[in-house]
Structure formats: structure tokens, C-alpha cells
Amino acid sequence: MFNKRLMWHLKTSNLLTKEQCGFCKNYSTIDALFTLLTDICNTKNQKQHIILISLDLEKAYDMVWRTRVLKLIQNSGINGKMFLFLQNFIKTRTIQVRAHAELLKIHQIENGLPQG
């Protein structure tokens, strides 16, 4: 239910580009690759040059600055209960390690976004 409301807000506020394929219903990696291939072919047919830079940032989600993400969410017009839900989901992260039969102290996670 939350995802539907969030996607509705993003679409009605024109915050998603037509090229957005990730996390969108009925779109996949194949669609993103098709768009890329189409752009490459069109550029080649027009006898122009094209430069493609692809980055794979190691541990990108683990290094995200959560305060900035929340500010961007707020600036996009998401507020009220929806913002509070996202804020709690993103910021309230802890870990606790069990070593043998003993539970160690709970630690607050300062950076990164939830995954999985």
C-alpha cells in the first residue's frame, strides 16, 4: 500500500522520467537496455559520436548520506505520515551481534540505506 502511494506521488508530480525502469511496474533491465541501445543506434545513424560512461560504485547503498536523502524526499513534496514513515524506516537502524550464547550491545547504524 505504501509503495502504491509513493509511486502515485512520484508519477503525478512528474518526479520520474520516462527512462526510469528500476522499481517501476512492467519495466525491467531489458527496457533500460533497449532504451540505451536505441539511443546508441540513433546517434550512430546520425553519424554523431556518443560517449558512454558506466559506473559501479562499490557498497553504494552502505555509504549513502541518509540526512541528504531525507532532505531530497522532503523537497520532492513528500510530507506528513508518508515522510515520517520513510524517516523512521531510513534512520532507525540498529545491529546486534550474537557471539556464541551472548548478545552484544546494540549499535546504531549511522550511514547507508536498508537493502533487501
| Digit-coded pLDDT (tens) for 16-27 | 888 888 878 888
Structural domain count, the chain? 2
Q: Are residues 76 and 45 in the same domain?
A: no
Query: How do residues 65-101 score in pLDDT, each as one tens digit?
Result: 999 999 999 999 999 999 999 999 888 888 999 999 8
Helix (H, G, I), strand (E, B) or coil at 32: helix
Give yes or no for a contact between 2 and 79, defined as CB atoms under 8 angstroms apart: no
Query: How do residues 30-61 score in pLDDT, each as one tens digit?
Result: 999 999 999 999 999 999 999 999 888 888 88
Q: Are residues 8 and 43 in the same domain?
A: yes
Q: Find the domain containing 42 and state its range.
A: 1-54
Q: Which of 11, 36, 54 is where one domain is finished? A: 54
The fraction of the chain above a pLDDT of 90, given in percent, is 43
